[in-house]
Amino acid sequence: MPRFETVARVIISYIMKQEFTVTVYTENQIGLLNRIAIMFSRRKINIESLNTSPSEIEGIHRFTIVINEVEEVVKKLARQIEKQVEVLKAYYNTNDEIVWQELALYKVPTDEIAEKVKVERLLREYGARAVVIRKDYTVFETTGQREEINKLIAVLEPYGLIEFVRSARVAIIKASSGFHSKLKEFEKKEPGEEVIENEYLGKGDQVFTM
Amino acid sequence: MSTIEKAPAKGKTEKKPAVKNISGSVAVLEAFLEEGVSTIFGYPGGAIMPIYDALYDYQEKLHHILVRHEQGATHAAQGYARSSGEVGVVFATSGPGATNLVTGLADAMIDSTPLVCVTGQVFAHLLGTDAFQETDVINITTPVTKWNYQVTDATEIPAVLAKAFYIARSGRPGPVLIDITKNAQIQKFDYEGYTKCDHVRSYRPAPIVRKEYVAEAAKLINEAQKPFVIFGQGVILGKAEQEFIKFIEKAGIPTAWTVMGLSAIPSDHPLNVGMLGMHGNYGPNVLTNECDVLIAIGMRFDDRVTGRLDKYAKQAKVIHLDIDPAEVDKNVKTTVPVWGDCKETLPMLTALVEQKVYPQWLQKFKDMMKEEEEACINPELNPTTEAMTMGEVIKTLNELTGGDAIIVTDVGQHQMVACRYAKFTNSKSNITSGGLGTMGFGLPAAIGAKVGAPKRTTVAIIGDGGFQMTLQELGTIMQTEIDVKILILNNQFLGMVRQWQQLFNDKRYSFVDIASPNFVTLASAYKIPGQSISKREDLKKALSEMLNTKGAYLLEVMVGKENNVFPMVPQGCSVAEIRLK
């Protein structure tokens, strides 16, 4: 008899859209960004945030892509991404399975802010720091999750926020033990146990995922 | 071409080939020879001229077939790949030459056909300047290639082509496009010989076979009362026909095929119960929803096979054997997946299944076939109408060829009729555009199929609509004297769309009435003999004349204008709701 939670999860996976972070390890190859991006656009899935950068291993790139979708779609999408020749591995995770941050910069008029705001309190409360202080403007920086960043916008807006920019999400997968050992297996012609992830029986949900 | 021979290295590496100074163009052709390529389908142009210049010296070793349109080159290469089991190779120039490849690439992608297409590109320093005949081929073809790559430096060419051939033919095959800028074609470099590629670290052609899942699958099969095997092109691509037949014969399971799987087992095999899908046979469709274990081998549950998904085989436990892990669970929920190359997994499964027969279950398919014969097959094969049917043409063709011919079809009603009624004794004999449904595929694919299997009779069965999409390839047939038998089944309509308009759009025949030229006169302009017939009594004689004529021949058979293909699973219906009328 399947547990209620399991049944619920399966149903949710088909009907409820939620935020997923897709992490893709790839070769560093021209054109690969397009090859990955069109996998989303072909299915009319909007990319909420996309970060691409070198990973912990030289020569291997890491994509962090945030989308809103139902789990069934994300699961199939991750497999299709992983099928691409220059993709080593694709994972997808819900927000509680990752540690994630965004970085934001806020440019405000210095006189306004110095006059009307208790700057030290502001910095402490929002974990922000001043990156640049000039006569005409000041740039604050903060890192955090979306709501925290949004809160600081709300605070600064009344004082004439000149410019604001937010980075893409970067995320660490809590359960991941890194990619070094996997890469070693990939480099072999006959990969060993390390990369066997095609678990299926009784764990249909975890096929090709961590 | 000057070659600088370097002294061989000392010691054990003495056998290492001497370093030669060659151009990128020569490196491309050397790579082809190393990969066993014998035929190239192509069309020259400005940006690929250095390669064509090099080809001038390789004419003896590399047979180049000049097509009349680059789309024809891709389809011909597909036909070649499908009849020979080798990689099809295409040359095209930049810009329009390259964009003309797109339809063929998309077709090869969805039907998993191994191709290596080499396109010329403008000089590297002109990239992005809107140079003459410059187009962004890499980005245009990204969604329709398994892999593509742009070469701007000749030294990359040997390794890139080695990778291209490896990727095209390994795992689930597919098309690869290599775009080479003109400077790289001209550039000379020190060529140290060719090393075939057998590993790319980010690419795993086949997943690891899990023995425990094979065992689990065997257990399900051994416990089944009404098992049913459905298979697709994977059996042919995996060159696993013998392994497959051993499996079904030991397990004694009724077996049905998809259009792409057709010809993998002989038509008269006692366990062959027919065709799946929209215009497939009655029994296989209805009984899909009655079997208790459904064993899908090398197929991908296309919507034309499954009909309405939420009513597809819901009662059955599903075993899915596939080389592509992304296919498992894509459309149909799997109970046990058997990942891997079926050439490897089928013998493992055969070893574990019990020798069995299911006479009552098999009889059910036979009974339903009787019903279908009365309702659809007999009227099609032995019509009492004045006008001929497509089915009787295929039937007569079967009698004359004995099922030994390669049948290449285009897309539409004639395709479904040919797949339903053509008989096969050899694998790799049914060549058709399955996934993409590309009208215009037939004629050029037949050219390639004949080149890929020169000893076999090749008949291209094409409708009057599809023929007019790529008929310029008659020029290719004329010039290269390729022995292709062209059989046009002319119903003076775009028949499949007309059938749908009749059944679902209240007979509002919207732009399906297509006029045709005099095909026989047209063929004669290309020095291809032919005739057109419209009377039943001429059929057998005309077909034998077609088959017995040396070289190409065009036979046009006028068939009933408003005949329909039945049975049919209407769109949005379950396979069990298949209509006989």
Percent of chain B, pLDDT > 70? 97
pLDDT tens-digit series, residues B433-471 = 999 999 999 999 999 999 999 999 999 999 999 999 999
> Of residues B20, B163, B182, B423, which has the active-site annotation?
B182
Domain identity same for B330 and B426: no
Domain identity same for B121 and B222: no
Look at residue B510 and tell me if it is in a domain.
yes
Look at residue B369 and tell me if it is in a domain.
no
Report the chain B residue with the minimal C-alpha distance to residue A31. Answer: B139
Report the chain B residue with the minimal C-alpha distance to residue A186. Answer: B201
Is the distance from CB of B145 to CB of B176 less than 8 angstroms? yes
pLDDT for position A198: 53
pLDDT for position A199: 54
Amino acid present at B168: A
Domain identity same for A64 and A162: no
DSSP symbols for B367-393: HHHHHHIIIIIHHHHS--SSSB-HHHH
Domain identity same for A161 and A185: no
**Confidence bin at B11 (pLDDT 50/70/90):** very low
Look at residue B546 and tell me if it is in a domain.
yes
Q: Is the pLDDT of residue B4 over 60?
A: no
Work out how many domains chain B is built from and give that number: 3
d(CA B223, CA B81): 39
Look at residue B272 and tell me if it is in a domain.
yes
Domain identity same for B351 and B387: no
Is B142 an 8 Å CB contact of chain A? yes
Inter-chain residue contact A26 with B202, CB threshold 8 Å: yes
Domain identity same for A45 and A66: yes
Look at residue B146 and tell me if it is in a domain.
yes
Domain identity same for B513 and B402: yes
Domain identity same for A14 and A76: yes
Is the distance from CB of B248 to CB of B229 less than 8 angstroms? yes
Q: Which residue has the higher pLDDT, B287 or A147?
A: B287
pLDDT tens-digit series, residues B387-407 = 999 999 999 999 999 999 999
pLDDT for position B208: 86
Domain identity same for A177 and A83: yes
Q: Is the pLDDT of residue B6 over 80?
A: no
pLDDT for position A9: 74
Question: For the ranges A64-68, B65-69, B202-206, B418-422, which has the lowest average pLDDT?
Answer: B202-206
Domain identity same for A19 and A38: yes
pLDDT tens-digit series, residues B504-551 = 999 999 999 999 999 999 999 999 999 999 999 999 999 999 999 999
ipTM metric: 0.90
pLDDT for position B90: 98
Look at residue B429 and tell me if it is in a domain.
yes
Q: Which CATH number characterizes residue B88's domain? A: 3.40.50.970
Look at residue B579 and tell me if it is in a domain.
no
Domain identity same for B330 and B462: no
> Of residues B20, B35, B41, B70, which has the active-site annotation?
B70
Domain identity same for B19 and B143: yes
pLDDT tens-digit series, residues B211-258 = 999 999 999 999 999 999 999 999 999 999 999 999 999 999 999 999
Domain identity same for A180 and A92: yes
Range B77-94 average pLDDT: 98
Domain identity same for B90 and B144: yes
Which residues contact residue A156 at a Cβ distance below 8 angstroms, ignoring those fewer than 6 apart? A106, A108, A113, A140
Alpha helices in B206-251 (DSSP H): 211-223, 234-237, 241-251
Q: Is the pLDDT of residue B578 over 80?
A: yes
Domain identity same for A25 and A90: yes
Domain identity same for A91 and A126: no
Would residue B496 show up in a list of annotated catalytic residues for this protein? yes
How far is the alpha carbon of B345 from chain A, nearest alpha carbon, in Å? 15
Would residue B70 show up in a list of annotated catalytic residues for this protein? yes
Q: Which CATH number characterizes residue A78's domain? A: 3.30.70.260
The number of angstroms, rounded, from the C-alpha of B390 to the middle of its chain's C-alpha atoms is: 22
Q: Is the pLDDT of residue B409 over 90?
A: yes
Inter-chain residue contact B216 with A201, CB threshold 8 Å: yes
Report the DSSP beta bridge partners of residue A69.
A18
* Ramachandran sector of residue B263 (left: φ over 0; alpha: ψ -120 to 50; beta: rest): left
pLDDT for position A184: 81
Domain identity same for A92 and A181: yes
Domain identity same for B160 and B309: no
Work out how many domains chain A is built from and give that number: 2
pLDDT for position B18: 80
Domain identity same for B322 and B396: no
Structural domain boundaries, residue B47: 11-191
B142 → closest Cβ in A27, A34, A80: A34
Is A96 an 8 Å CB contact of chain B? no
Query: Which residue is listed with tokens 């005099």?
Result: B518
pLDDT tens-digit series, residues A106-146 = 999 998 888 877 778 888 888 899 999 999 999 999 999 99
Domain identity same for B227 and B143: no
Domain identity same for A22 and A79: yes
Q: Which CATH number characterizes residue A160's domain? A: 3.30.70.1150
The DSSP bridge pattern shows strands A137-144 and A98-109 to be antiparallel
**Confidence bin at B562 (pLDDT 50/70/90):** very high
Structural domain boundaries, residue A111: 100-166
- The mean pLDDT of chain B is 96
**Confidence bin at B17 (pLDDT 50/70/90):** low
Domain identity same for A192 and A93: yes
User: Which of the listed residues B314, B333, B364 is the one where a domain comes to its end?
Assistant: B364
Would residue B226 show up in a list of annotated catalytic residues for this protein? no
Domain identity same for B301 and B386: no
Domain identity same for B21 and B162: yes
Which residues contact residue B409 at a Cβ distance below 8 angstroms, ignoring those fewer than 6 apart? B415, B418, B419, B430, B431, B432, B442, B460, B461, B462
